[in-house]
Chains A and B, each alone.
Chain A
Amino acid sequence: EVQLVESGGGLVQPGGSLRLSCAASGFTFSSFWMTWVRQTPGKGLEWVANIKQDGSEKYYVDSVKGRFTISRDNAKNSLFLQMNSLRDEDTAVYYCARGRYCSGPNCYSDSWGQGTLVTVSS
């Protein structure tokens, strides 16, 4: 059974940093593109970033470029999201998801974690 478990969320002040982790199990992690998606009550679901199987390609939504970095450790079946210079509008539940039938970064996600809440507030 595919399992994705996010961790690392919490309360952080504007301008601060957080590192999210996603532990994957139940599938061959190194064979799949992986994705971060966030969700807020106001903006709904927003794709944040994708990373290729070997980490050689990374894609971001414009609003996080230069501030967030997606990475992975295939030896540890783990996905990460380093978030710097956090803003109020980054407040959301962040989901880790597995990509399927990807044409480059153009994947739909077939399995999602339960999410981790990031709150940016002073």
Chain B
Amino acid sequence: DIVMTQSPEYLTVSLGERATINCKSSQSVLYSSNNKNYLAWYQQKPGQPPKLLFYWASTRESGVPDRFSGSGSGTDFTLTISRMQAEDVAVYFCHQYYSTPLTFGQGTRVEI
């Protein structure tokens, strides 16, 4: 199974400042035949289901503000919020869909 490890578990950021969340997979999720990283990022607010932010590691889902960015390849990935807003308070999860069992990181709670 591919283990997804996020860091940090908790992150406190001031309004307008940058937030950086890391995700590391126990094996590469880069599929060589199409050069795509099978890595997604989700945002979850209290009482809500996860919301898709990025897929293929860096492709922003429609409607996601451009202050959010995803990067990385192979085993190391990053989600960045360039200028933290109050509405960005949430738990963020990375997710590999390279192989079954599909697995998620344990989550990073981001607060103001």
Bits for A89-100, please: 1 = Cβ < 8 Å to B, else 0.
Answer: 000000101001
Which B4-46 residues have C-beta < 8 A from chain A?
31, 38, 40
Which candidate, A7-15, A23-31, A76-84, A103-111, is the interface stretch facing chain B?
Answer: A103-111
Partner among B98, B99, B101, B104 whose Cβ is within 8 Å of the Cβ of A44: B104
Name A47's contact: one of B61, B102, B105, B107 (CB within 8 Å): B102
Task: Report how many A-B pairs have Cβ atoms within 8 Å.
Answer: 57
Given contact pairs A95-B49, A106-B100, A112-B49, A44 touches B40 in the complex (Cβ within 8 A): no
**In the complex, what residue of chain B is closest to A114 when comparing beta carbons?**
B49
Secondary structure at the A interface, as helix, strand, loop or mixed, is strand
With A108-B55, A109-B52, A110-B52 in contact, is A45–B93 under 8 Å at CB?
yes
Please give the residue numbers on chain A whose beta carbons come within 8 Å of chain B beta carbons, in ascending order.
44-47, 50, 59, 61-62, 95, 97, 100-101, 103, 105-115
**A95 to B55 Cα, complex, angstroms:** 19
Tell me the complex Cα distance, A107–B61, Å: 15
Q: Which residues of A are found within 8 Å of B99, using beta-carbon distances?
A: 106
